[in-house]
Amino acid sequence: MHREYQSPLVTRYASKEMSYLFSEEYKFTTWRKLWVVLAEAEKELGLNITDEQINELKEHIYDINYDVAREYEKKTRHDVMSHVYAYGEQCPKAKPIIHLGATSCYVGDNTDVIIMKEALNIIRKKLIKIIKNLSQFADKYKQLPTLAYTHLQPAQLTTVGKRACLWIQDIIVDLENIDNCIDSLKLLGVKGTTGTQASFLKLFNGDHEKVKKLDELVCEKLGFKDKFFKVTGQTYPRKQDMIVLNTLSLIAQSAYKFSNDLRILQSFKEIEEPFEKHQIGSSAMPYKRNPMRSERISALARYVIVNVLNSSITASTQWFERTLDDSANKRIVVAEAFLAIDAILNLYINVSENLVVYPKIIQKRVMEELPFMATENIMMEAVKKGGDRQELHERIRVYSMEAGKVVKEEGRENDLIDRIVNDPKFNLDKNELKDALNPHNYIGRSKEQVEEFLSEIVEPILLKNEVDEINVEINV
């Protein structure tokens, strides 16, 4: 038995909640709701439409006769008119007034915006959950010293919690962007074939005020009061899709950075993503614990980031009042960007609430590098005891190169401190170097920065937003 292709974004990665938003059922029921709203608004503004017709339409919003619609589409090659005819068969009294004065984009475009707004709100909830997870992690490990890197080379020390705050900061920027995006979303409204509303002006016998009111009334009924484009061609500007997808791309970038950091940390054996009891890391190497979840975040994030180019080109190539080369591209690109981001955030939630930290390994790696970082403090201690700063600087430089050579070429432990203690010019013993080799003396304000960031920035966000319990199921 052969099964047709199904997108892995639906079968493996995205949540059922997000997948449903981009399902045919949700789309076509929303079309029917839009036809109901249009009829209601037209009736309220004086057209000869009855309550009986509207009630008939409402009774058949959810029992869509898909088989009938498919048969009509084979004949008409037009998806919207096929559903108009199918709806009309179920609603014989309302049949004459379904889609009255409208063009296909009335249902197509307005439905797309409604779906995107619902999807953005799902994404928003998941961002809040990630912020909460990471803030708990940051607070727990705010004092644990760890190597900080520039150019992926050990530079100074930070703390595990402080690094987590960098991840949180990225997500907070994304939250601000998604709020702006949701707030700026606009419906197409009721504009007609080329955006001039000519068909509606004819319906209302040249009454411009009623046509204007129709636009306002329909959008208000749909929950978009005063949020619709005042002027359009046949469609809403495709720049809106680009803005939405760019917002998703920014989220993907944050997740990508987190996943890459974690993959490196797992390679260092410092911090790992969760690994289930019966999980297999490799079919060939039983001992392996591959960072599968983080790798999947990286893979899907790359897809979302590249996908934005589609919406940018589509927005750039719309001819005059409309062209149809947006349609096939748009229905794939927008849906899959949301499904991929949903999958990414499901993984991010799962990983961020189950991170495994190995303090002993972190401390071991810190102490391997700390002697190099401590050289300035050691030199100051020796100067206090009468040493020559310039001479000591040169000796430390030479000893550092020699100790580095021992580590890299001979695989032995860092012996820089022993070289310094054995040099009488420094006049120091190991007990006097205890403070110089205490990692907590090199983390600066990391602990305080974590505390201030969490209390001043993160806590107000969490207090303002209810944090939903989100149970994510990760296919491994």
Query: Does one domain contain both 144 and 159?
Result: yes
Among the three residues 356, 385, 410, which one is the final residue of a domain in this structure? Answer: 356
Query: Does one domain contain both 309 and 411?
Result: no
The owner of tokens 């949180």 is: 168
Is the distance from CB of 377 to CB of 426 less than 8 angstroms? no
Q: How confident is the model at residue 279 (pLDDT cuts 50, 70, 90)?
A: very low
DSSP secondary structure code for residue 424 in this structure: T
Alpha-carbon gap, residue 130 to 160, rounded angstroms: 17
Please report whether residue 36 resides in a domain.
no
Catalytic residue among 282, 316, 440, 455: 282
Please report whether residue 341 resides in a domain.
yes
Q: How confident is the model at residue 348 (pLDDT cuts 50, 70, 90)?
A: very high
CATH number at residue 426: 1.10.40.30
Is the distance from CB of 13 to CB of 343 less than 8 angstroms? yes
DSSP letter string over 244-261? HHHHHHHHHHHHHHHHHH
Please report whether residue 129 resides in a domain.
yes
Tokens of 293: 């979840």
pLDDT value at 285 more than 80: no
Please report whether residue 383 resides in a domain.
yes
Query: Does one domain contain both 277 and 371?
Result: no
Identity of the residue numbered 120: L
The pair phi, psi for residue 466, each rounded to 5°, is: -70, 130
Query: Does one domain contain both 429 and 385?
Result: yes
Angle between helices 327-352 and 239-267 (to 10 degrees): 30
Query: Does one domain contain both 352 and 404?
Result: no
Q: Is 151 an annotated catalytic residue? A: yes
Query: Does one domain contain both 309 and 348?
Result: yes
The pLDDT of residue 425 is 82
Alpha-carbon gap, residue 188 to 65, rounded angstroms: 27
The pLDDT of residue 466 is 82
Q: How confident is the model at residue 475 (pLDDT cuts 50, 70, 90)?
A: low
Mean pLDDT of 305-322: 93
Query: Does one domain contain both 259 and 321?
Result: yes
Tokens of 242: 């680009």
Query: Does one domain contain both 381 and 325?
Result: no
Mean pLDDT of 371-376: 82
Q: What is the mean pLDDT of the chain?
A: 92
Is the distance from CB of 180 to CB of 215 less than 8 angstroms? no
Alpha-carbon gap, residue 205 to 195, rounded angstroms: 18
Among the three residues 340, 356, 372, which one is the final residue of a domain in this structure? Answer: 356
pLDDT digits (tens, 9 = 90+) for 71-109: 999 999 899 999 999 999 999 999 999 999 999 999 999
Q: How confident is the model at residue 392 (pLDDT cuts 50, 70, 90)?
A: confident
Catalytic residue among 2, 151, 278, 283: 151
pLDDT digits (tens, 9 = 90+) for 145-199: 999 999 999 999 999 999 999 999 999 999 999 999 999 999 999 999 999 999 9
Residues whose CB falls within 8 Å of the CB of residue 78, separated by 6 or more in sequence, listed in order: 104
pLDDT value at 10 more than 50: yes
Residues whose CB falls within 8 Å of the CB of residue 345, separated by 6 or more in sequence, listed in order: 123, 126, 127, 130, 251, 255
Q: What domain range is 154 assigned to?
A: 104-187+236-356
The pLDDT of residue 126 is 96
Query: Does one domain contain both 182 and 293?
Result: yes
- Residues of the chain above pLDDT 90, percent: 74
Q: What pTM does this model have?
A: 0.90
CATH number at residue 110: 1.20.200.10
Mean pLDDT of 432-454: 91
Please report whether residue 272 resides in a domain.
yes
Query: Does one domain contain both 167 and 282?
Result: yes
DSSP letter string over 438-461? -GGGGSTTHHHHHHHHIIIIIHHH
The owner of tokens 């010293």 is: 145
Please report whether residue 320 resides in a domain.
yes
Please report whether residue 240 resides in a domain.
yes
Alpha-carbon gap, residue 446 to 145, rounded angstroms: 9
Is the distance from CB of 35 to CB of 57 less than 8 angstroms? yes
Taking 3-state DSSP, the helix, strand and coil percentages for the chain, each rounded to the nearest 5, stand at 65, 5, 30
pLDDT value at 57 more than 90: yes
The pLDDT of residue 282 is 45
Helix/strand/coil for 274: coil
Query: Does one domain contain both 289 and 317?
Result: yes
Alpha-carbon gap, residue 313 to 80, rounded angstroms: 25
The pLDDT of residue 353 is 94
Please report whether residue 63 resides in a domain.
no
The pair phi, psi for residue 5, each rounded to 5°, is: -65, 135
Question: How many domains does the chain divide into?
Answer: 2
* 147 bridge partner residues: 157
Among the three residues 336, 356, 376, which one is the final residue of a domain in this structure? Answer: 356
Closest C-alpha to 104, from 66, 75, 73:
73
The pair phi, psi for residue 287, each rounded to 5°, is: -80, -10
Query: Does one domain contain both 372 and 336?
Result: no
Q: Measuring CA to CA, how many Å separate 260 from each of 11, 280, 346, 394?
A: 25, 21, 17, 38
The pLDDT of residue 149 is 96
